[in-house]
Amino acid sequence: MIEDERLNTSAKSLMICEIINSIIDLFLSTFLVAYLLNITNKNIGSVAIYYIIDYAITGICMYIIGYFLKKYNIANIYRLGILIKCIFTILIVFLREQIQNFLIPIAIVLGIAETVYWGAYDNIVGLVTNGSNRKKYTTNKNIIRSFTKILMPIILGTSIELLTFYKVSIYIMLLACTQLILSFFIKIQNQNYNKFDLITFFKNINIKNNNRLKIIYKSSILYGILLNLIPTLVTIIIVMTYKTNFTLGFFNTIFAICSMITLFIFKKINNKKLQKDILIGGSLISLISVVSLVIKLGKIEVIIYNIISYSFIVILEILFNIERLNNKENNINDEYHIENQIFINIIMQIGRIIGYGLLFIIGLSNNIIYFKILLLLSTIIIPIYSYYMYQLYYK
């Protein structure tokens, strides 16, 4: 057990692995979405069905992985998740443009990889950090990750334009291998858990009288839309408006700079009243920006909306990921830590499937008005989510 605010070797190694993973995920989400749109003649439905399959598999397998997490060393399962992601990247390298003919199989592979990776990661964080240094870990990780997000989007976007998506995917594959090597520095002591049992967990948590846990579960279903659907919608808008991967990378760099600045300022503010005002103000400004975007889907409106939403969402992400692991405040016994995190992940997948299901329907209609409505509905989640974080963090 960690006794002070310092991060040990395992925590630092996990942080580096997660930063590398953010680069890989940037490629496997933002630029893969752009690639799929290009090779499918802007078929939004194909992108939506790809993610629906991915998250459906993740939701189903997340329950199964719980049994393994309580039986085997979590660090080894985490490494397995990285390895399967390597395999997924290898498939992209070899399939090239034929990937559009194998969307369902590769989505299944990605779903399994995401299950094993995130199922283990979310629980490892709780094991290598504690209440006194978890905020430090989460905030520092996001600040460092923001630096990589400043450099990598424009590097990836430029590289894809100059070298092709296929050649860049080879370098991403090598990066995944590096991540696997670094993961061996993460050490988890032998775990003494009982058998994975969600039913017993539900009987013990007394959720009817646990308001904090209710809020966390409600937030989890919205998290999937907030952190996944909105970035996908943004990528589609940028690709259709500006056409090139270089521009996509350039704007993602600008948005990352805004996120980093916002995060740095928020970290320095110790006044909870001022932090609360930022949550309220950020929510209102986000709504105003999306209304202007719905009225006119122009280049300037696209930039303004993204700068505002990216700057603000990162704060909500940090607050949620701190509070979801706060077992003591949430009245969760340590023996049910894995059940709780697995259930949160399952709820997240439901939110993601709902969001991408709506995107799939809109893709079939091929109507820009419906697309704008979905963007508006997604952004309305921000003030709701802000209210939940306010209840968790400031009350």
- Three-state SS annotation for 135-196: HHHHHHHHHHHHHHHHHHHHHHHHHHHHHCHHHHHHHHHHHHHHHHHHHHHCCCCCCCCCCC
* Residue 119 contacts residue 342 (beta carbons within 8 Å): yes
What would the two tokens of residue 285 be?
A: 């400004």
Q: Which residues have CB under 8 Å from 68's CB, separation 6+?
A: 77
Residue with tokens 């600045």: 261
Q: What Å distances lie between residue 175 and 21, 87, 170, CA to CA?
A: 9, 12, 9
Rounded CA separation 43/282 (Å): 33
C-alpha pair distances (Å), 75 with each of 69, 125, 321: 9, 11, 20
Q: Kindly report the CA angle at 37 between 33 and 41, in degrees rounded to 5? A: 170
**Residues counted in the chain:** 395
Closest to 56 (Cα-Cα) out of 343, 349, 342, 345: 349
Structure tokens belonging to residue 375 = 């963007």
Residue 129, Cβ neighbours under 10 Å: how many?
Answer: 24
Residue 112 has a pLDDT of: 92
Q: Which residues of 205-225 are buried (b: 16+ CB within 10 A; e: fewer)?
A: beeeeeebbebbbebbbbbbb
**Token pair of 224 as six digits:** 């999937």
Tell me the domains of the chain and their CATH numbers.
9-190+203-393 (1.20.1250.20)
Closest CA to 66 of 356, 345, 357, 355: 345
Q: Tell me, what's the pLDDT at 3?
A: 45
Determine the Cα–Cα distance for residues 4 and 186; give it in Å rounded to an integer. 18
Q: pTM, whole model, 2 decimals?
A: 0.76
Dihedral, 273, 380, 150, 146 alpha carbons, nearest 10: 40
Q: What is the pLDDT along the chain (395 residues), one digit of tens a residue?
A: 444 567 778 888 888 888 888 888 877 777 777 778 777 777 788 888 888 998 899 888 988 888 888 888 888 899 999 999 888 888 877 777 788 888 888 889 989 998 999 888 877 887 777 766 777 777 777 777 777 777 777 777 777 777 777 778 888 888 888 888 888 888 877 666 678 888 888 888 877 788 888 888 888 888 877 777 877 777 777 777 766 666 767 777 777 777 777 777 776 776 666 767 777 777 778 778 777 777 776 777 777 777 777 777 777 777 787 778 777 777 788 778 888 888 888 898 898 898 888 888 888 877 777 877 888 888 888 888 888 888 877 66
> Do residues 59 and 371 make contact, with C-beta atoms less than 8 angstroms apart?
no
